[in-house]
Amino acid sequence: MIIGPKYKIARRLGANIFEKTQTQKFAIRSEQKAGGGRTMGKKPRAKSDFGLGMIEKQKARYSYGITSKQFTNYVQKATEKKGNTADILTGLLESRLDNVALRAGYATTRQAARQMTSHGHLTVNGQIVTIPSYHVKVGDVIGIREGSKKKVLFSTLDERLKTLKLPAWLKLNFEKKEVKIDGNPNILHSELMFNVGAVLEFYSR
């Protein structure tokens, strides 16, 4: 997915949704832009409920690096299932193979995780999978293709895995460099960079 100028998008949405915007440099630039862009005596115009909902939707899809159409499909799937729709939606997003690659420490950025997957470096239950949106399930084992383990791409993997804090639903086999899906994805809504409730409300209009 072609995203565009990440600094501008992050500033417009008011959230550090990309890895390159989660830096002190970006924070300083944002403060400078905000200070220089204000007009004396004028307050920023308040956004409508629709506008605020749209912003939360954009934060959500950029957070996971997916298109608007893909995100809409995930929302539709979540609303069709029984249970807590917000938890189901985040569970579907977290279950993407590229997201698991990122959470597992195989990649340091979401874009790298997507490329890693599409280039055939990862396996699911021993089979190469090249679809970043592939939905992993409880019991699945995600690993690195044997021929890829010695590539520069994974040269610092050992160091990363030693200090990585894995989500509770992932179980690491350090020796084999494999990760098992040990439970359903469980992420606190407070850990997300978007308001799940506002996103679902936006789609319910």
Please write the tens of the pLDDT for every residue from 26-61: 444 545 555 555 444 455 566 688 888 899 999 999
Q: Assess whether 60 and 110 both reside in one domain.
A: no
Tally of domains within the chain: 2
Q: In this structure, is residue 40 part of a structural domain?
A: no
Within-domain flag for 117: yes
Minimum mean pLDDT range among 15-19, 159-163, 194-198 = 15-19
Mean pLDDT of the chain: 85
Do 169 and 137 share a domain, yes or no? yes
d(CA 30, CA 41): 21
126 pLDDT more than 90? yes
Q: Which two tokens stand for residue 117?
A: 């997957």
Domain assignment of residue 37, yes or no:
no
Give the three-state DSSP class for 153.
helix
Q: Is the pTM of this model over 0.85?
A: no
pLDDT tens per residue across span 135-166: 999 999 999 999 999 999 999 999 999 999 99
Q: How far is CA 160 from the centre of its chain?
A: 19
Residue-number span of the structural domain to which 162 is assigned? 96-181
